[in-house]
């Protein structure tokens, strides 16, 4: 039962939270109600059995716990009386089961997190906290910034929502274009956290990748736009490889070693069609360029057939449009695949020498792999160990240990 509750928390807690925010009108109260609901489930479900609709049970329980808490506090604080009164009524109970409302709650949550009144850095931190459920420490690790900095951003964002009475809603059509870029970025972050989880024991969090794709489809219905099509194409093309990225023992499988027959051809075809449409206007966005990179992998029936020079050229475009150390790292890998590991090593050494990505485990892992290919074993082991010390994701830790074990094992026959 404990594992079942944990699985339900993993799959539904973000949707429960989003609906509780709609019903309670406050982030902190909703988070407290979410934890109360699951604590109640841990006590009641082993005794009474799992309800037929766990989602509705959790939302209803969390809402009632919040009402009880506000009622107790309102005895000592008259300012809470109006809040207490506003939470009662049969309409709210009906809304709990209204799946049309529930289906849009995550989109409402993202638009609230991305309100222009909230600084961009705080938007991203708040969205990863509320939409993905990451801890403050995990968000800090993802952004390569100190944990207290992230905590302050989240607190200030919530305070801004309260003080400015930012509505929990999808904006009117005339406001959508100015909010689109940030909303798409949040959806992209949600997908990335699902496709390459920054923590935990799973290579892929299918609940997050599916939610990100669903949200992008909702945005596309609200506001058809090439950038939305480009992002949706990118996510579908990458998600088509999701199952192949995990071995039977849940370890990570690199793209060169994946069974390409297991790639989802339906998602690839839809992604390719969306990519063509996104490129029709002529001026393409960043997500469309990334989708074009994913498309090159999807087209290649074997690893050797991959057009790495073309992929490197796409990364050149990204470096021109929006330079970043991560793009530079991916470009180094593409160049290494087309020009050899020595060239890739030179680029990564320049990145690390500049002070960029020193605490990013994938930079050290890529460097280690180039050293391994160059048969510089001792240096490769050191680089893998550095990556290992920075990594927080279970399957990646196992992969890095496996690489070190391969390099330290005595040659066969000895």
Give the residue from 83, 100, 113 showing the smallest Cα distance to 23: 83
**pLDDT score, position 134:** 80
Sign of the dihedral through C-alpha 252, 258, 261, 265:
positive
Helix (H) or strand (E) segment spanning residue 267: helix 265-279
What distance in Å separates the CA atoms of residue 225 and residue 230, rounded to the nearest whole number?
9
CA angle, residues 303, 306, 312, in degrees to nearest 5? 130
Tens of pLDDT along the chain (414 residues) come to 788 998 889 888 988 999 999 888 888 899 999 999 999 999 999 999 999 999 999 999 999 999 888 877 765 555 544 544 444 444 454 555 444 444 588 888 888 988 989 988 898 899 888 888 888 887 887 777 889 999 999 999 999 998 998 888 888 878 888 888 888 988 998 898 888 877 667 788 888 899 899 889 988 988 889 999 999 999 999 999 999 998 887 788 999 999 999 999 999 999 999 999 999 877 789 999 999 999 999 999 999 999 999 999 999 999 999 899 999 999 999 999 999 999 999 999 999 999 889 989 999 999 999 999 999 999 999 999 999 999 888 888 989 999 999 999 876 655
**pLDDT score, position 414:** 55
CB of 1 closer than 8 Å to CB of 45: yes
Non-local CB neighbours of 238 within 8 Å, separated by 6+ positions: 191, 195, 294
What distance in Å separates the CA atoms of residue 176 and residue 183, rounded to the nearest whole number?
9
**pLDDT score, position 89:** 46
Domains assigned to the chain: 1-97 (1.10.1740), 328-414 (1.25.40.10)
Longest dimension (CA), the chain: 81
What distance in Å separates the CA atoms of residue 277 and residue 72, rounded to the nearest whole number?
56
**pLDDT score, position 75:** 57
**pLDDT score, position 3:** 86
């Amino acid at each position: 039962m404990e594992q079942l509750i944990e699985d339900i928390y993993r799959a539904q807690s973000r949707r429960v939270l989003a609906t509780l925010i709609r019903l309670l009108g406050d982030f902190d109260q909703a988070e407290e109600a979410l934890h109360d609901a699951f604590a109640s489930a841990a006590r009641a479900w082993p005794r009474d059995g799992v309800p037929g609709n766990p989602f509705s049970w959790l939302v209803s329980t969390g809402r009632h716990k919040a009402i009880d808490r506000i009622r107790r506090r309102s005895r000592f604080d008259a300012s809470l009386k109006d809040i207490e009164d506003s939470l009662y009524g049969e309409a709210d109970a009906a809304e709990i089961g209204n799946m049309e409302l529930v289906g849009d709650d995550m989109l409402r949550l993202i638009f609230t997190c991305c309100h222009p009144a909230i600084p961009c850095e705080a938007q991203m931190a708040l969205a990863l906290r509320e939409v993905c459920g990451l801890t403050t420490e995990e968000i800090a690790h993802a952004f390569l910034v100190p944990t207290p900095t992230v905590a302050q951003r989240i607190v200030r964002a919530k305070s801004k929502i309260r003080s400015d009475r930012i509505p929990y809603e999808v904006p009117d059509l005339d406001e959508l274009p100015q909010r689109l870029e940030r909303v798409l970025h949040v959806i992209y972050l949600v997908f990335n956290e699902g496709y390459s989880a920054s923590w935990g024991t799973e290579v892929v969090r299918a609940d997050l990748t599916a939610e990100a794709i669903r949200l992008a489809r909702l945005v596309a219905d609200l506001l058809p736009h090439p950038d939305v099509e480009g992002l949706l194409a990118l996510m579908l093309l990458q998600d088509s490889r999701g199952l192949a990225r995990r071995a039977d023992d849940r370890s990570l499988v690199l793209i060169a070693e994946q069974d390409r027959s297991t790639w989802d051809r339906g998602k690839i075809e839809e992604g390719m069609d969306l990519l063509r449409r996104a490129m029709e206007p002529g001026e393409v966005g960043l997500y469309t360029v990334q989708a074009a990179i994913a498309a090159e992998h999807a087209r290649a029936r074997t690893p050797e057939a991959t057009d790495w020079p073309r992929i490197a050229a796409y990364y050149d475009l990204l470096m021109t449009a929006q330079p970043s150390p991560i793009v530079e790292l991916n470009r180094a890998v593409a160049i290494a695949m087309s020009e050899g590991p020595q060239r890739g090593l030179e680029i990564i050494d320049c990145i690390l020498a500049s002070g960029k990505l020193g605490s990013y485990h994938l930079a050290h892992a890529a460097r280690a792999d180039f050293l391994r290919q160059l048969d510089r074993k001792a240096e490769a082991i050191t680089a893998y160990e550095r990556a290992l010390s920075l990594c927080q994701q279970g399957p990646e830790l196992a992969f890095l240990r496996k690489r070190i074990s391969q390099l330290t094992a005595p040659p066969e026959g000895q």
